[in-house]
């Protein structure tokens, strides 16, 4: 269920080495809008956008699950260790005290 896009990186055009000798043209060009958008859509799960799903796809705790396009923590499986809160690159997981003890919950709107 990985959503990592393994397509190749879009590189900007470059002036050929022989042409570089002929003038002062900028060596590295720019991506077209379409290619820039395609490059931006390649997900590398860096965790910076707040929808990285690293906790589900990389972290490995069985308490995490996806439902209705949202990430949840199964309170039956969570032992309240707090490691996921340390792991989340966006600080979107925070401890929450419940009657039966401590559990952690994802902050809903960002993930
Ligand atoms: S809770 Fe944290 S690790 Fe999980 S998807 Fe959201 S930002 Fe990523
Ligand atoms: S606190 Fe986080 S890492 Fe620890 S068991 Fe619960 S969900 Fe998993």
Distance between CA atoms of residues 30 and 32, nearest Å: 6
Does the beta carbon of 73 lie inside 6 Å of ligand 1?
Answer: no
- Residue 61 and residue 98 share a domain: yes
53 band by pLDDT with thresholds 50, 70 and 90: confident
Minimum-distance ligand 2 atom for the alpha carbon of 82: 1
Beta bridge partners of residue 106, listed in sequence order: 93
- Residue 41 and residue 68 share a domain: no
Domain residue limits at 21: 1-45
Least confident of 1-5, 37-41, 58-62: 1-5
Looking at residue 51, its pLDDT comes to 73
104 band by pLDDT with thresholds 50, 70 and 90: low
Does the beta carbon of 56 lie inside 6 Å of ligand 2?
Answer: no
Closest ligand, as measured to the CA of 84: 2
- Residue 63 and residue 41 share a domain: no
- Residue 59 and residue 38 share a domain: no
């Amino acid at each position: 269920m990985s959503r990592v896009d393994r397509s190749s990186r879009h590189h900007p055009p470059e002036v050929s080495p022989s042409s570089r000798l002929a003038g002062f043209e900028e060596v590295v060009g720019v991506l077209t809008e379409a290619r820039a958008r395609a490059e931006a859509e390649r997900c590398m799960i860096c965790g910076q956008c707040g929808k990285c799903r690293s906790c589900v796809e990389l972290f490995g705790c069985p308490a995490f699950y996806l439902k209705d396009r949202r990430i949840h923590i199964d309170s039956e499986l969570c032992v309240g260790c707090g490691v996921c809160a340390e792991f989340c690159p966006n600080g979107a997981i925070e401890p929450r005290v419940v009657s039966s003890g401590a559990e952690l919950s994802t902050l809903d709107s960002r993930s």
